[in-house]
Structure 1
Amino acid sequence: MTFSMCGFRSVDGSPGATPLYRRWICSFLVLLVATAGVCLAGASRVQAAEEDDKPELRVMSYNIHHGRGSDDQVDLQRIAAVIKAAQPDLVALQEVDNGVGRSGGVDQTAELARLTGMQGRFFKQIDYDGGEYGQAILSKTPLQTPEIIWLPGEPERERRIVGRAQTTIHGVTFWFATTHLHHANSAIRQDQAKALNQRFTHGDAPMILAGDFNAPPEAPSIARLQKRWTLATSDAPLLTFPADKPRKQLDYVVFCPQSAFRCRGAEVVAERVASDHAPLVVKITSEVKLNEN
Protein backbone atom coordinates (compact mmCIF):
# COMPACT_ATOMS: atom_id res chain seq x y z
CA MET A 1 0.00 0.00 0.00
CA THR A 2 1.02 3.62 -0.46
CA PHE A 3 0.37 6.85 1.47
CA SER A 4 -0.43 10.27 0.05
CA MET A 5 -0.99 13.63 1.71
CA CYS A 6 -4.53 13.65 0.37
CA GLY A 7 -5.65 10.35 1.86
CA PHE A 8 -5.09 6.65 2.04
CA ARG A 9 -5.40 4.33 -0.93
CA SER A 10 -4.90 0.62 -1.38
CA VAL A 11 -2.37 -0.75 -3.82
CA ASP A 12 -4.97 -0.87 -6.54
CA GLY A 13 -5.85 2.78 -5.99
CA SER A 14 -9.25 2.26 -4.41
CA PRO A 15 -10.19 4.54 -1.49
CA GLY A 16 -9.41 3.01 1.88
CA ALA A 17 -10.26 3.70 5.48
CA THR A 18 -9.15 6.86 7.37
CA PRO A 19 -5.37 6.68 7.60
CA LEU A 20 -3.85 5.95 10.98
CA TYR A 21 -1.75 9.12 11.09
CA ARG A 22 -4.88 11.27 10.64
CA ARG A 23 -6.57 9.53 13.51
CA TRP A 24 -3.50 10.16 15.62
CA ILE A 25 -3.53 13.86 14.72
CA CYS A 26 -7.25 14.19 15.46
CA SER A 27 -6.86 12.42 18.80
CA PHE A 28 -3.93 14.67 19.69
CA LEU A 29 -5.85 17.83 18.80
CA VAL A 30 -8.86 16.75 20.84
CA LEU A 31 -6.59 16.01 23.80
CA LEU A 32 -4.80 19.35 23.39
CA VAL A 33 -8.05 21.34 23.34
CA ALA A 34 -9.39 19.45 26.34
CA THR A 35 -6.16 19.99 28.27
CA ALA A 36 -6.15 23.70 27.44
CA GLY A 37 -9.73 24.01 28.64
CA VAL A 38 -8.90 22.28 31.91
CA CYS A 39 -5.83 24.51 32.39
CA LEU A 40 -7.81 27.69 31.74
CA ALA A 41 -10.60 26.62 34.06
CA GLY A 42 -8.04 25.71 36.69
CA ALA A 43 -6.25 29.04 36.30
CA SER A 44 -9.55 30.89 36.67
CA ARG A 45 -10.34 28.95 39.84
CA VAL A 46 -6.87 29.63 41.23
CA GLN A 47 -7.16 33.36 40.43
CA ALA A 48 -10.60 33.52 42.04
CA ALA A 49 -9.29 31.67 45.10
CA GLU A 50 -6.35 34.06 45.35
CA GLU A 51 -8.72 37.04 45.17
CA ASP A 52 -10.90 35.52 47.90
CA ASP A 53 -7.86 34.79 50.05
CA LYS A 54 -6.54 38.35 50.00
CA PRO A 55 -7.15 39.96 53.40
CA GLU A 56 -9.48 42.93 53.34
CA LEU A 57 -9.17 46.32 54.95
CA ARG A 58 -12.40 47.87 56.15
CA VAL A 59 -12.08 51.66 55.94
CA MET A 60 -14.66 54.08 57.34
CA SER A 61 -15.05 57.80 56.66
CA TYR A 62 -17.23 59.55 59.23
CA ASN A 63 -17.93 63.24 59.78
CA ILE A 64 -19.12 63.06 63.39
CA HIS A 65 -20.23 66.73 63.79
CA HIS A 66 -18.38 66.80 67.17
CA GLY A 67 -20.75 64.07 68.34
CA ARG A 68 -23.85 66.24 68.02
CA GLY A 69 -26.73 64.33 66.49
CA SER A 70 -29.94 65.32 64.76
CA ASP A 71 -31.59 65.39 68.20
CA ASP A 72 -29.10 68.16 69.20
CA GLN A 73 -27.48 65.89 71.80
CA VAL A 74 -23.72 65.34 72.01
CA ASP A 75 -23.34 61.60 72.53
CA LEU A 76 -19.99 59.94 71.80
CA GLN A 77 -21.21 56.56 73.01
CA ARG A 78 -23.60 56.22 70.09
CA ILE A 79 -20.88 57.39 67.66
CA ALA A 80 -18.67 54.65 69.10
CA ALA A 81 -21.48 52.11 68.79
CA VAL A 82 -21.88 52.95 65.09
CA ILE A 83 -18.14 52.51 64.54
CA LYS A 84 -17.93 49.22 66.45
CA ALA A 85 -20.91 47.74 64.61
CA ALA A 86 -19.22 48.40 61.23
CA GLN A 87 -16.00 46.67 62.40
CA PRO A 88 -13.56 48.93 60.51
CA ASP A 89 -9.80 48.52 60.59
CA LEU A 90 -9.32 52.26 60.01
CA VAL A 91 -11.56 55.28 60.58
CA ALA A 92 -11.10 58.81 59.24
CA LEU A 93 -13.02 61.27 61.45
CA GLN A 94 -13.86 64.87 60.66
CA GLU A 95 -15.22 67.70 62.88
CA VAL A 96 -13.62 66.41 66.07
CA ASP A 97 -13.35 68.42 69.29
CA ASN A 98 -10.52 68.30 71.81
CA GLY A 99 -11.23 70.05 75.09
CA VAL A 100 -13.90 72.29 73.49
CA GLY A 101 -16.56 73.89 75.66
CA ARG A 102 -19.56 73.05 73.45
CA SER A 103 -18.86 69.31 73.81
CA GLY A 104 -18.04 69.26 77.51
CA GLY A 105 -14.27 69.73 77.31
CA VAL A 106 -13.72 66.09 76.31
CA ASP A 107 -10.77 64.78 74.30
CA GLN A 108 -13.09 63.15 71.77
CA THR A 109 -10.35 61.22 69.98
CA ALA A 110 -9.13 59.62 73.19
CA GLU A 111 -12.68 58.85 74.30
CA LEU A 112 -13.65 57.25 70.99
CA ALA A 113 -10.42 55.24 71.01
CA ARG A 114 -11.30 53.98 74.50
CA LEU A 115 -14.89 53.16 73.60
CA THR A 116 -13.96 51.32 70.40
CA GLY A 117 -10.76 49.65 71.60
CA MET A 118 -8.76 51.29 68.80
CA GLN A 119 -5.67 53.48 68.57
CA GLY A 120 -6.39 57.22 68.17
CA ARG A 121 -4.58 60.25 66.78
CA PHE A 122 -5.91 63.83 66.74
CA PHE A 123 -4.87 66.46 64.15
CA LYS A 124 -5.53 70.06 65.12
CA GLN A 125 -6.87 72.55 62.59
CA ILE A 126 -7.76 75.55 64.75
CA ASP A 127 -8.17 76.75 68.31
CA TYR A 128 -11.85 76.87 69.21
CA ASP A 129 -14.01 77.57 72.27
CA GLY A 130 -11.32 76.94 74.85
CA GLY A 131 -9.89 73.92 73.09
CA GLU A 132 -8.95 72.55 69.67
CA TYR A 133 -10.96 71.51 66.65
CA GLY A 134 -9.82 69.26 63.81
CA GLN A 135 -9.76 65.69 62.58
CA ALA A 136 -8.71 62.28 63.80
CA ILE A 137 -7.78 58.74 62.86
CA LEU A 138 -8.74 55.54 64.64
CA SER A 139 -6.87 52.34 63.88
CA LYS A 140 -6.80 48.75 65.09
CA THR A 141 -3.03 48.77 64.57
CA PRO A 142 -0.38 51.20 65.87
CA LEU A 143 -0.05 54.56 64.12
CA GLN A 144 3.42 55.88 63.35
CA THR A 145 5.01 59.11 62.05
CA PRO A 146 1.85 61.26 62.27
CA GLU A 147 1.94 64.54 60.41
CA ILE A 148 -0.23 67.46 59.34
CA ILE A 149 -0.10 68.89 55.82
CA TRP A 150 -1.80 72.23 55.24
CA LEU A 151 -4.03 72.74 52.22
CA PRO A 152 -4.91 75.99 50.41
CA GLY A 153 -7.68 77.89 52.13
CA GLU A 154 -8.73 81.06 53.89
CA PRO A 155 -6.20 81.92 56.62
CA GLU A 156 -8.61 84.25 58.37
CA ARG A 157 -11.13 81.42 58.76
CA GLU A 158 -10.82 77.65 59.18
CA ARG A 159 -7.74 76.31 57.44
CA ARG A 160 -8.00 72.82 55.97
CA ILE A 161 -5.54 70.03 56.53
CA VAL A 162 -4.60 66.45 55.78
CA GLY A 163 -3.81 64.46 58.89
CA ARG A 164 -2.04 61.20 58.21
CA ALA A 165 -0.01 58.42 59.80
CA GLN A 166 1.61 55.19 58.72
CA THR A 167 0.32 51.81 59.79
CA THR A 168 0.89 48.16 58.93
CA ILE A 169 -2.05 45.80 58.41
CA HIS A 170 -1.83 42.24 57.02
CA GLY A 171 1.89 42.75 56.41
CA VAL A 172 1.32 45.86 54.30
CA THR A 173 2.68 49.28 55.33
CA PHE A 174 0.99 52.40 53.96
CA TRP A 175 -0.25 55.88 54.84
CA PHE A 176 -3.79 56.42 56.06
CA ALA A 177 -5.14 59.97 56.01
CA THR A 178 -8.16 62.09 56.83
CA THR A 179 -9.21 65.38 55.25
CA HIS A 180 -12.14 67.81 55.16
CA LEU A 181 -12.30 70.03 52.08
CA HIS A 182 -13.86 73.48 51.92
CA HIS A 183 -17.62 73.46 52.39
CA ALA A 184 -18.64 76.57 50.43
CA ASN A 185 -16.06 77.63 47.85
CA SER A 186 -15.67 75.47 44.72
CA ALA A 187 -12.53 77.30 43.56
CA ILE A 188 -10.80 76.64 46.89
CA ARG A 189 -11.87 72.98 46.76
CA GLN A 190 -10.29 72.67 43.32
CA ASP A 191 -7.08 74.22 44.65
CA GLN A 192 -7.18 71.75 47.53
CA ALA A 193 -7.67 68.84 45.12
CA LYS A 194 -4.72 70.10 43.07
CA ALA A 195 -2.60 70.25 46.21
CA LEU A 196 -3.59 66.68 47.13
CA ASN A 197 -2.50 65.52 43.67
CA GLN A 198 0.80 67.37 43.79
CA ARG A 199 1.74 66.47 47.35
CA PHE A 200 0.86 62.80 47.61
CA THR A 201 0.89 61.13 44.19
CA HIS A 202 4.42 61.70 42.90
CA GLY A 203 6.58 58.95 44.32
CA ASP A 204 5.24 59.16 47.86
CA ALA A 205 4.39 55.92 49.68
CA PRO A 206 1.01 54.32 48.86
CA MET A 207 -1.84 56.00 50.65
CA ILE A 208 -5.53 55.69 51.46
CA LEU A 209 -7.28 59.03 51.95
CA ALA A 210 -10.78 59.32 53.38
CA GLY A 211 -12.93 62.23 54.36
CA ASP A 212 -15.65 64.77 53.75
CA PHE A 213 -14.80 66.24 50.33
CA ASN A 214 -17.89 68.50 50.40
CA ALA A 215 -18.69 67.90 46.73
CA PRO A 216 -20.83 65.48 44.67
CA PRO A 217 -19.14 62.97 42.32
CA GLU A 218 -19.69 65.19 39.25
CA ALA A 219 -17.99 68.24 40.81
CA PRO A 220 -14.81 69.70 39.23
CA SER A 221 -12.80 69.05 42.41
CA ILE A 222 -13.67 65.33 42.31
CA ALA A 223 -12.80 65.16 38.60
CA ARG A 224 -9.42 66.74 39.38
CA LEU A 225 -8.77 64.22 42.14
CA GLN A 226 -9.57 61.33 39.82
CA LYS A 227 -6.63 62.29 37.61
CA ARG A 228 -4.33 60.94 40.33
CA TRP A 229 -6.49 59.00 42.79
CA THR A 230 -8.80 56.01 42.43
CA LEU A 231 -12.24 56.54 43.92
CA ALA A 232 -13.35 53.47 45.81
CA THR A 233 -16.97 54.48 45.16
CA SER A 234 -16.77 55.45 41.49
CA ASP A 235 -19.38 52.97 40.22
CA ALA A 236 -22.35 54.88 41.62
CA PRO A 237 -22.93 57.69 44.13
CA LEU A 238 -23.37 56.56 47.72
CA LEU A 239 -25.57 59.11 49.47
CA THR A 240 -24.18 60.24 52.84
CA PHE A 241 -25.71 63.67 53.53
CA PRO A 242 -27.85 64.73 55.28
CA ALA A 243 -27.92 61.62 57.43
CA ASP A 244 -31.66 61.70 58.18
CA LYS A 245 -32.61 61.86 54.48
CA PRO A 246 -29.46 61.43 52.36
CA ARG A 247 -29.61 63.26 49.02
CA LYS A 248 -25.97 63.50 47.94
CA GLN A 249 -22.54 62.00 48.40
CA LEU A 250 -20.02 64.20 50.18
CA ASP A 251 -17.87 61.52 51.82
CA TYR A 252 -15.26 59.44 49.99
CA VAL A 253 -12.42 56.95 50.22
CA VAL A 254 -9.67 57.27 47.59
CA PHE A 255 -6.27 55.67 47.16
CA CYS A 256 -3.05 55.84 45.14
CA PRO A 257 -1.30 54.42 43.27
CA GLN A 258 -4.00 52.49 41.41
CA SER A 259 -1.87 49.34 41.37
CA ALA A 260 -1.56 49.23 45.16
CA PHE A 261 -5.17 48.61 46.17
CA ARG A 262 -8.47 47.35 44.86
CA CYS A 263 -11.99 48.15 46.05
CA ARG A 264 -14.07 45.08 46.90
CA GLY A 265 -17.27 46.86 47.92
CA ALA A 266 -18.73 49.96 49.57
CA GLU A 267 -21.81 50.86 51.57
CA VAL A 268 -23.37 53.67 53.56
CA VAL A 269 -24.31 52.80 57.13
CA ALA A 270 -27.97 53.65 57.65
CA GLU A 271 -27.45 55.74 60.78
CA ARG A 272 -29.84 58.71 60.91
CA VAL A 273 -29.37 60.29 64.34
CA ALA A 274 -25.78 60.15 65.65
CA SER A 275 -24.38 62.83 63.26
CA ASP A 276 -25.45 64.95 60.30
CA HIS A 277 -23.43 62.65 57.99
CA ALA A 278 -23.94 58.91 57.53
CA PRO A 279 -20.67 56.95 57.66
CA LEU A 280 -19.21 55.40 54.52
CA VAL A 281 -17.52 51.98 54.72
CA VAL A 282 -15.29 50.61 51.95
CA LYS A 283 -13.66 47.18 51.67
CA ILE A 284 -10.18 47.29 50.12
CA THR A 285 -7.58 44.65 49.34
CA SER A 286 -3.88 45.30 48.85
CA GLU A 287 -2.46 44.09 45.55
CA VAL A 288 1.23 43.92 46.54
CA LYS A 289 3.34 43.65 49.64
CA LEU A 290 3.96 47.36 49.78
CA ASN A 291 6.48 47.26 52.60
CA GLU A 292 8.70 44.90 50.61
CA ASN A 293 9.14 47.27 47.63
Structure 2
Amino acid sequence: MKTKALLAAAMLLLLQTVVTAQQRIKVLTFNIYHGEAHYERGTSNLQKIAAVINEHQPDFVAMQEVDSMTNRTARFNNGQRIDIVKELAALTKMNGYFAKAIDYDNGGYGEGVLTKKPATVTRYALPIPKGGEGRAMLQVQQKLANGRTIVFAGNHLCHEFDVNRIDQIKTVDSITQKSAYPVILAGDWNFVPGSAEYAIITKNFKDAAVVKGKPEATFPYTAPKIRLDMVFLSNNAKWKVIDVAVLKNDASDHMPVLVTLELE
Protein backbone atom coordinates (compact mmCIF):
# COMPACT_ATOMS: atom_id res chain seq x y z
CA MET A 1 0.00 0.00 0.00
CA LYS A 2 2.82 2.35 0.91
CA THR A 3 4.54 1.68 -2.44
CA LYS A 4 1.30 2.39 -4.33
CA ALA A 5 0.81 5.65 -2.43
CA LEU A 6 4.36 6.76 -3.22
CA LEU A 7 3.88 5.86 -6.89
CA ALA A 8 0.61 7.81 -7.05
CA ALA A 9 2.27 10.82 -5.43
CA ALA A 10 5.14 10.65 -7.91
CA MET A 11 2.73 10.47 -10.86
CA LEU A 12 0.78 13.46 -9.53
CA LEU A 13 3.99 15.47 -9.17
CA LEU A 14 4.99 14.57 -12.73
CA LEU A 15 1.59 15.60 -14.05
CA GLN A 16 1.76 18.93 -12.21
CA THR A 17 5.23 19.56 -13.65
CA VAL A 18 3.99 18.96 -17.20
CA VAL A 19 0.96 21.21 -16.68
CA THR A 20 2.95 24.10 -15.22
CA ALA A 21 5.64 23.77 -17.89
CA GLN A 22 3.06 24.73 -20.51
CA GLN A 23 1.63 28.10 -19.53
CA ARG A 24 -1.65 29.12 -21.17
CA ILE A 25 -1.96 32.85 -21.91
CA LYS A 26 -4.85 34.88 -23.34
CA VAL A 27 -4.18 38.25 -24.92
CA LEU A 28 -6.59 40.79 -26.38
CA THR A 29 -5.88 43.78 -28.58
CA PHE A 30 -8.59 46.44 -28.97
CA ASN A 31 -8.57 49.89 -30.54
CA ILE A 32 -11.19 51.48 -28.26
CA TYR A 33 -11.81 54.77 -30.14
CA HIS A 34 -11.01 57.04 -27.17
CA GLY A 35 -13.81 55.53 -25.08
CA GLU A 36 -16.67 56.75 -27.29
CA ALA A 37 -19.09 54.44 -29.11
CA HIS A 38 -18.09 54.82 -32.77
CA TYR A 39 -21.56 54.07 -34.11
CA GLU A 40 -23.42 55.97 -31.39
CA ARG A 41 -21.48 59.20 -30.98
CA GLY A 42 -21.80 61.00 -27.70
CA THR A 43 -22.07 57.73 -25.79
CA SER A 44 -19.41 55.96 -23.75
CA ASN A 45 -18.35 52.51 -24.97
CA LEU A 46 -16.56 51.49 -21.76
CA GLN A 47 -19.32 49.16 -20.55
CA LYS A 48 -19.22 47.30 -23.88
CA ILE A 49 -15.44 47.05 -23.79
CA ALA A 50 -15.46 45.84 -20.19
CA ALA A 51 -18.11 43.24 -21.09
CA VAL A 52 -15.81 41.77 -23.77
CA ILE A 53 -12.90 41.64 -21.34
CA ASN A 54 -14.97 40.12 -18.54
CA GLU A 55 -16.44 37.50 -20.85
CA HIS A 56 -13.12 36.28 -22.24
CA GLN A 57 -10.87 36.86 -19.20
CA PRO A 58 -7.60 37.71 -20.99
CA ASP A 59 -4.35 37.88 -19.03
CA PHE A 60 -3.21 40.93 -21.00
CA VAL A 61 -5.12 43.60 -22.92
CA ALA A 62 -3.51 46.12 -25.29
CA MET A 63 -5.69 49.16 -25.95
CA GLN A 64 -5.12 51.86 -28.55
CA GLU A 65 -6.61 55.36 -28.94
CA VAL A 66 -6.83 55.81 -25.19
CA ASP A 67 -7.76 59.17 -23.63
CA SER A 68 -6.80 60.22 -20.13
CA MET A 69 -8.58 63.17 -18.50
CA THR A 70 -9.31 64.92 -21.80
CA ASN A 71 -12.11 67.40 -22.35
CA ARG A 72 -13.28 65.06 -25.10
CA THR A 73 -14.16 62.36 -22.56
CA ALA A 74 -16.27 64.86 -20.60
CA ARG A 75 -18.56 65.27 -23.61
CA PHE A 76 -19.88 61.72 -23.25
CA ASN A 77 -19.42 61.24 -19.48
CA ASN A 78 -21.84 63.73 -17.96
CA GLY A 79 -19.35 66.58 -18.14
CA GLN A 80 -16.63 64.73 -16.21
CA ARG A 81 -13.16 64.18 -17.65
CA ILE A 82 -12.16 60.59 -17.01
CA ASP A 83 -9.09 58.36 -16.97
CA ILE A 84 -10.22 55.60 -19.33
CA VAL A 85 -7.63 53.05 -18.21
CA LYS A 86 -8.52 53.60 -14.56
CA GLU A 87 -12.23 53.19 -15.35
CA LEU A 88 -11.70 49.98 -17.30
CA ALA A 89 -9.37 48.58 -14.63
CA ALA A 90 -12.17 49.08 -12.10
CA LEU A 91 -14.83 47.55 -14.36
CA THR A 92 -12.69 44.47 -15.09
CA LYS A 93 -10.84 44.18 -11.75
CA MET A 94 -7.53 44.24 -13.60
CA ASN A 95 -4.37 46.33 -13.20
CA GLY A 96 -4.32 49.34 -15.51
CA TYR A 97 -1.38 51.19 -17.06
CA PHE A 98 -1.31 54.21 -19.38
CA ALA A 99 1.47 55.57 -21.59
CA LYS A 100 0.88 59.08 -22.91
CA ALA A 101 1.98 59.56 -26.50
CA ILE A 102 0.80 63.17 -26.84
CA ASP A 103 -0.83 65.96 -24.89
CA TYR A 104 -4.39 66.25 -26.10
CA ASP A 105 -7.42 68.38 -25.22
CA ASN A 106 -6.23 69.29 -21.72
CA GLY A 107 -5.25 65.69 -20.99
CA GLY A 108 -3.33 62.83 -22.59
CA TYR A 109 -3.75 60.36 -25.45
CA GLY A 110 -1.84 57.15 -26.02
CA GLU A 111 -1.69 53.46 -25.11
CA GLY A 112 -3.30 51.45 -22.36
CA VAL A 113 -2.57 47.98 -21.02
CA LEU A 114 -4.56 45.88 -18.56
CA THR A 115 -3.04 42.89 -16.76
CA LYS A 116 -4.52 40.29 -14.43
CA LYS A 117 -1.50 40.53 -12.15
CA PRO A 118 0.66 43.56 -11.33
CA ALA A 119 3.49 44.13 -13.78
CA THR A 120 6.65 46.16 -14.27
CA VAL A 121 5.97 48.88 -16.85
CA THR A 122 8.16 50.77 -19.32
CA ARG A 123 7.12 53.48 -21.80
CA TYR A 124 9.05 54.02 -25.02
CA ALA A 125 8.60 57.05 -27.28
CA LEU A 126 8.61 56.03 -30.94
CA PRO A 127 10.24 58.13 -33.68
CA ILE A 128 8.28 60.51 -35.93
CA PRO A 129 10.90 61.68 -38.47
CA LYS A 130 8.20 63.05 -40.77
CA GLY A 131 6.43 64.80 -37.91
CA GLY A 132 2.77 64.32 -37.14
CA GLU A 133 1.18 62.65 -34.14
CA GLY A 134 3.49 61.24 -31.49
CA ARG A 135 3.42 57.52 -30.71
CA ALA A 136 4.51 55.36 -27.78
CA MET A 137 4.98 51.69 -26.97
CA LEU A 138 3.74 50.50 -23.57
CA GLN A 139 5.65 47.43 -22.38
CA VAL A 140 4.89 45.32 -19.33
CA GLN A 141 7.00 42.54 -17.83
CA GLN A 142 5.48 39.86 -15.67
CA LYS A 143 6.31 36.53 -14.05
CA LEU A 144 3.81 33.80 -14.93
CA ALA A 145 2.37 31.14 -12.63
CA ASN A 146 4.93 28.59 -13.86
CA GLY A 147 7.81 30.91 -12.92
CA ARG A 148 8.64 32.09 -16.44
CA THR A 149 8.85 35.78 -17.24
CA ILE A 150 7.36 37.30 -20.38
CA VAL A 151 7.10 40.73 -21.98
CA PHE A 152 3.84 42.07 -23.44
CA ALA A 153 3.83 45.32 -25.42
CA GLY A 154 0.99 47.40 -26.83
CA ASN A 155 1.47 49.52 -29.96
CA HIS A 156 -0.37 51.91 -32.26
CA LEU A 157 1.80 53.04 -35.15
CA CYS A 158 1.52 56.19 -37.26
CA HIS A 159 -1.51 56.42 -39.55
CA GLU A 160 -0.14 59.38 -41.52
CA PHE A 161 3.31 58.64 -42.97
CA ASP A 162 5.02 55.49 -44.24
CA VAL A 163 8.40 56.86 -43.15
CA ASN A 164 7.20 57.15 -39.56
CA ARG A 165 5.77 53.62 -39.51
CA ILE A 166 8.96 52.13 -40.94
CA ASP A 167 11.10 53.84 -38.29
CA GLN A 168 8.61 52.93 -35.58
CA ILE A 169 8.45 49.23 -36.42
CA LYS A 170 12.26 49.11 -36.63
CA THR A 171 12.42 50.69 -33.16
CA VAL A 172 9.85 48.27 -31.73
CA ASP A 173 11.82 45.36 -33.18
CA SER A 174 15.15 46.72 -31.90
CA ILE A 175 13.87 47.28 -28.36
CA THR A 176 12.20 43.90 -28.04
CA GLN A 177 15.10 41.99 -29.57
CA LYS A 178 17.14 43.00 -26.51
CA SER A 179 14.77 41.05 -24.26
CA ALA A 180 15.97 37.77 -22.80
CA TYR A 181 12.32 36.80 -22.31
CA PRO A 182 9.55 35.71 -24.67
CA VAL A 183 7.76 38.74 -26.15
CA ILE A 184 4.18 39.28 -27.30
CA LEU A 185 3.48 42.36 -29.42
CA ALA A 186 -0.13 43.46 -29.86
CA GLY A 187 -1.83 46.45 -31.36
CA ASP A 188 -3.40 48.40 -34.17
CA TRP A 189 -0.39 48.55 -36.44
CA ASN A 190 -1.76 50.67 -39.28
CA PHE A 191 -0.04 48.37 -41.74
CA VAL A 192 -1.22 45.21 -43.47
CA PRO A 193 0.34 41.83 -44.29
CA GLY A 194 2.54 42.14 -47.36
CA SER A 195 3.72 45.65 -46.47
CA ALA A 196 7.33 46.66 -45.84
CA GLU A 197 6.53 47.11 -42.14
CA TYR A 198 5.07 43.61 -41.92
CA ALA A 199 8.19 42.17 -43.57
CA ILE A 200 10.40 43.90 -40.96
CA ILE A 201 8.54 42.60 -37.90
CA THR A 202 8.08 39.06 -39.19
CA LYS A 203 11.83 38.54 -39.46
CA ASN A 204 11.94 38.05 -35.69
CA PHE A 205 8.26 37.51 -34.84
CA LYS A 206 5.50 35.17 -35.95
CA ASP A 207 2.03 36.44 -36.85
CA ALA A 208 -0.25 34.47 -34.49
CA ALA A 209 -3.19 34.49 -36.91
CA VAL A 210 -1.06 33.14 -39.75
CA VAL A 211 0.39 30.42 -37.50
CA LYS A 212 -3.16 29.35 -36.64
CA GLY A 213 -4.31 29.73 -40.24
CA LYS A 214 -7.06 32.21 -39.26
CA PRO A 215 -6.15 35.67 -40.55
CA GLU A 216 -9.38 37.71 -40.72
CA ALA A 217 -10.06 41.36 -41.48
CA THR A 218 -10.54 43.52 -38.39
CA PHE A 219 -11.44 46.93 -39.84
CA PRO A 220 -13.91 48.52 -40.25
CA TYR A 221 -16.57 46.79 -38.17
CA THR A 222 -19.42 47.49 -40.62
CA ALA A 223 -17.65 45.90 -43.62
CA PRO A 224 -14.26 44.44 -42.64
CA LYS A 225 -11.77 44.80 -45.47
CA ILE A 226 -8.27 44.88 -43.96
CA ARG A 227 -6.35 43.36 -41.07
CA LEU A 228 -4.72 46.08 -38.98
CA ASP A 229 -5.08 44.54 -35.51
CA MET A 230 -2.51 41.79 -35.00
CA VAL A 231 -0.55 39.85 -32.39
CA PHE A 232 3.08 38.86 -32.99
CA LEU A 233 5.08 36.24 -31.06
CA SER A 234 8.85 36.35 -30.62
CA ASN A 235 11.02 33.70 -32.25
CA ASN A 236 13.04 33.22 -29.04
CA ALA A 237 10.33 31.02 -27.50
CA LYS A 238 8.22 27.99 -28.35
CA TRP A 239 4.60 29.09 -28.74
CA LYS A 240 1.52 27.05 -29.50
CA VAL A 241 -1.34 29.11 -30.91
CA ILE A 242 -4.54 27.55 -29.56
CA ASP A 243 -6.99 30.01 -31.10
CA VAL A 244 -7.30 33.39 -32.79
CA ALA A 245 -10.72 35.04 -32.77
CA VAL A 246 -11.89 38.34 -34.25
CA LEU A 247 -14.74 39.29 -31.91
CA LYS A 248 -17.85 40.77 -33.50
CA ASN A 249 -18.26 43.81 -31.28
CA ASP A 250 -19.37 47.28 -32.42
CA ALA A 251 -17.99 49.38 -29.56
CA SER A 252 -15.36 50.74 -31.96
CA ASP A 253 -14.68 50.84 -35.69
CA HIS A 254 -11.98 48.21 -35.02
CA MET A 255 -12.91 44.73 -33.86
CA PRO A 256 -10.98 43.23 -30.94
CA VAL A 257 -8.73 40.23 -31.52
CA LEU A 258 -8.40 37.52 -28.87
CA VAL A 259 -5.43 35.14 -29.04
CA THR A 260 -5.07 32.07 -26.84
CA LEU A 261 -1.53 30.69 -26.51
CA GLU A 262 0.56 28.15 -24.75
CA LEU A 263 4.15 29.00 -23.90
CA GLU A 264 6.22 25.86 -23.67
| TM-score for both structures, normalised by structure 1 | 0.76
Q: 1:92 aligns to what?
A: 62
Greater RCO structure (CA 8 Å; 6+ sep): 2
Distance change in 2, residues 1:54/1:241 (3 Å) = same
Q: What CA RMSD, in Å, does the superposition of the two structures yield over aligned residues?
A: 2.1
Q: 2:201 aligns to what?
A: 225
Q: 1:162 aligns to what?
A: 137
SS at match of 1:233: helix
Q: 2:9 aligns to what?
A: none
> What does 1:72-221 correspond to in 2, within 5 Å?
72=41, 73-104=43-74, 105-144=81-120, 146-154=121-129, 156-171=131-146, 172-221=148-197
SS at match of 1:147: strand
Q: 1:265 aligns to what?
A: 243
| 1:255 counterpart = 2:233 | yes
CA distance in 2 between partners of 1:278 and 1:84 (Å): 16
Number of aligned residues = 237
Larger Rg: 1
Q: Give how far 1:236 is off.
A: 4.3
Q: Is the 8 A contact 2:102 2:134 kept in 1?
A: yes
Q: Give how far 1:211 is off.
A: 0.4
- 117-126 or 169-178, which moves further after superposition? 169-178
CA distance in 2 between partners of 1:160 and 1:224 (Å): 18
| 1:67 counterpart = 2:35 | yes
Distance change in 2, residues 1:275/1:230 (3 Å) = same
> What does 1:27-38 correspond to in 2, within 5 Å?
none
Which of the numbers 190, 206, 218 marks the counterpart of 1:240?
Answer: 218
Q: Residue type of the partner of 1:243?
A: Y
Q: Is the 8 A contact 1:230 1:258 kept in 2?
A: no
Q: Give how far 1:168 is off.
A: 2.1
Q: Is the 8 A contact 2:214 2:244 kept in 1?
A: no
Distance change in 2, residues 1:147/1:103 (3 Å) = same
- For structure 1, the 5+ residue unaligned runs are 1-49, 288-293
Q: 1:42 aligns to what?
A: none
Q: Is the 8 A contact 1:119 1:139 kept in 2?
A: yes
SS at match of 2:209: coil
Q: Residue type of the partner of 1:286?
A: L
CA distance in 2 between partners of 1:188 and 1:152 (Å): 7
Q: Is the 8 A contact 2:205 2:232 kept in 1?
A: yes
Q: Is the 8 A contact 1:164 1:178 kept in 2?
A: yes
CA distance in 2 between partners of 1:244 and 1:199 (Å): 35
CA distance in 2 between partners of 1:240 and 1:114 (Å): 27
SS at match of 2:241: strand
CA distance in 1 between partners of 2:62 and 2:257 (Å): 10
- For structure 2, the 5+ residue unaligned runs are 1-17, 75-80
- 59-68 or 157-166, which moves further after superposition? 157-166
SS at match of 1:209: strand
CA distance in 2 between partners of 1:52 and 1:200 (Å): 25
| 1:57 counterpart = 2:25 | yes
Q: Residue type of the partner of 1:85?
A: E
CA distance in 1 between partners of 2:229 and 2:45 (Å): 21
Distance change in 2, residues 1:115/1:217 (3 Å) = same
Q: Give how far 1:75 is off.
A: 2.6
Q: Give how far 1:154 is off.
A: 4.7
Overall identity of the aligned pairs, in %: 36
Q: Residue type of the partner of 2:194?
A: E
CA distance in 1 between partners of 2:23 and 2:238 (Å): 14
